[in-house]
């Protein structure tokens, strides 16, 4: 099967970690620049036009940080849920197949028991098996043999 191996929860996703840290760093830098420009700490950025140009960029970065990164975590959680549900479905399918095999084996045992009992009770004879077993007939020994054979088939 073409199953993809996922990295472990605790590590192994170095590019994702680097991307997260880069986003955090960029967000902090732009927020610091924006705050320093608003308070007048940076004289070249004190110009209103420069602040107006920086503002949309900062909001996009902050929006990405607070929008996309939680969505990625949600996506990871949903992928884990899909894997769990797939395993659950596979287990149910396996249990169903095992139950079918058991039913087939039991059906085969009953079929063999009927085949073992068939010589003891001819098709034209409508007497019950108990009557046939109690009757002193020449086929009584054959009946006992057939019943014992059927019991051994059912016990196996």
- Listed by start position, the domains of the chain span 14-155
pLDDT band at 5 (very low <50, low <70, confident <90, very high): very low
E strand map for 54-136: none
Residue 8: predicted pLDDT: 47
* 32-40: long-range contacts, CB 8 A cutoff, minimum separation 24: 33/58, 34/58
For tokens 């990625």, name the residue. 72
Half-sphere exposure of 16 (CA within 13 A, CB side): 13
Average pLDDT over residues 14-22: 80
Chain centre distance of CA 69: 26
CA gap 23, 18 in Å, rounded: 9
* 60-113 pLDDT tens trace: 877 877 787 788 888 989 999 999 999 999 999 999 999 999 999 988 888 887
Torsion angles phi and psi, residue 3, rounded to 5? -90, 140
Residue 23: predicted pLDDT: 77
Of 56-65, 93-102, 110-119, 126-135, which gets the smallest average pLDDT?
A: 126-135
The answer to whether 30 and 61 have CB atoms below 8 angstroms apart is yes
Task: Give the pTM.
Answer: 0.45
CA angle (88, 89, 92) in 5-degree steps: 90
pLDDT band at 46 (very low <50, low <70, confident <90, very high): low
């Amino acid at each position: 099967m073409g199953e993809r191996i996922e990295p472990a929860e605790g590590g192994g996703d170095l590019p994702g970690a680097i991307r997260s840290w880069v986003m955090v760093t960029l967000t902090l830098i732009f927020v610091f620049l924006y705050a320093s420009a608003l308070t007048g700490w940076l004289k070249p950025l004190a110009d209103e036009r420069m602040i107006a140009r920086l503002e949309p960029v900062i909001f996009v970065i902050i929006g990405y940080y607070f929008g996309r990164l939680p969505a990625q975590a949600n996506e990871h959680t949903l992928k884990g849920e899909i894997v769990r549900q797939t395993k659950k479905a596979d287990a149910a399918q396996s249990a169903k197949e095992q139950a079918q095999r058991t039913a087939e084996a039991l059906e085969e045992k009953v079929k063999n028991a009927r085949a073992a009992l068939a010589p003891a009770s001819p098709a034209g004879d409508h007497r019950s098996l108990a009557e046939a077993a109690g009757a002193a007939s020449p086929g009584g020994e054959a009946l006992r043999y057939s019943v014992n054979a059927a019991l051994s088939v059912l016990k196996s």
